[in-house]
Amino acid sequence: MANSVPDILEKKSFVVVTGVGRGLGRSIASKLVAKLPTASFFVFLSPSNTGQESLVSELSMSHPDVRIRTRAFDQGEMDQTVFDHIFVDILKTDNLEVRGFEQVIIVHNCALVGDVTKWTWDLTDVTSLVRLFNVNVVGMILLNSTFLNMFSEVKSRVVINVTSGNAIRPYKTMSTYCTAKAARDMYFRVLSSEDPSIRVLSYSPGHVDTKMLTYVRDNTIDKDLSNRIKAAYTDGRVLSCDASAEKMIAILEKNTFENASYVAYTDPL
């Protein structure tokens, strides 16, 4: 596909990243701060302030001129007011104009993996099922719509959907997570068919050494899945968060990916 939006990483951008307190999101946020022009503005959204505040302290040492704001944000909390006001409030507080940015980027990174201690037919708890789909799908859609509407005048809008191999392959004990990831990928394919000017990257980061992966390894009742993750660790096939985030940055830099198609860490650049 032709380069429809060249030079993503060279534009002064308003950037939103969800789930930066730990794991992959933390590395993605750091790499974007390091790569994008200093005049860019970053918004980090995570439920716990501790993780994201420590990231901001780190980044303000290494990149003192970059503006970063954080908001305590729970993507699974279905409060219309939060979604309606989040970006309006941030722009207002910092006296920013939508027109002040050449580009806007949102990275939908945060996700819940769900309960891997049960087989699929034993998922009977209303609260935990609703919570998983609220965080992984409904809240993500609401945040995405709010973002795209808020910045509808900005010519270059980039959306990164952190997807997973689970979106395209079944993994035992992970049915809800697989379903949610597959739903997100299709949501972005539809969105991108409606407005191809929105640049959408669905990035599958590989096995990444995070709390999520170790939780699945140590808790799934599917011994085969647990052993496969253990083997990936033993064989050195588990990536660091930085390595996977760097590949994502390289994909954005090259900017030849097909809109909203599934792009894996292992795919050639």
Ligand X SMILES: NC(=O)c1ccc[n+]([C@@H]2O[C@H](COP(=O)([O-])OP(=O)(O)OC[C@H]3O[C@@H](n4cnc5c(N)ncnc54)[C@H](OP(=O)(O)O)[C@@H]3O)[C@@H](O)[C@H]2O)c1
User: Of 13, 18, 30, 192, which lies in the binding site for ligand X, with binding defined by CB under 6 A?
Assistant: 18
Angle at 64 between CA 62 and CA 69, to 5 degrees: 105
Our CB check for ligand X shows the closer of 151 and 171 to be 171
Q: How many helices (H) and strands (E) does the chain have?
A: 9, 7
> Which of 3, 48, 193, 227: binder of ligand X (CB under 6 A)?
48
Q: With binding defined as CB under 6 A, does residue 208 bind ligand X? A: yes
Instruction: For the CB of residue 107, give the shortest distance to ligand X in the complex, in Å.
Output: 10
Nearer to ligand X, 6 or 78 (CB): 78
Helix axis angle, 23-35 relative to 49-62, nearest 10°?
Answer: 30
* The binder of ligand X chosen from 8, 9, 16, 19 (CB under 6 A): 19
CA–CA distance, 77 with 174 (Å, rounded to integer): 22
- CA of 265: how far to CAs of 21, 51, 77, 95, 203, in Å? 22, 25, 31, 38, 7
Of 15, 16, 24, 106, which lies in the binding site for ligand X, with binding defined by CB under 6 A? 24
SS (H, E, C) 113-133: CCCCCCCHHHCCCHHHHHHHH
46 closest CA partner among 28, 65, 64, 66? 28
**Residue among 150 and 232 whose Cβ is closer to ligand X:** 232
109 binds ligand X (CB under 6 A): yes
Q: Identify residue 97 by its one-letter amino acid code.
A: E
Q: Which of 85, 155, 211, 230 binds ligand X (CB under 6 A)?
A: 211
User: Which of residues 106, 107, 137, 213 is near ligand X by CB under 6 A?
Assistant: 213
- Which CB atom, from 8 or from 111, has the smaller least distance to ligand X? 111
Binding site for ligand X (CB under 6 A): 18-25, 46-48, 51, 73-76, 109-112, 135, 162, 164, 205, 207-208, 210-213
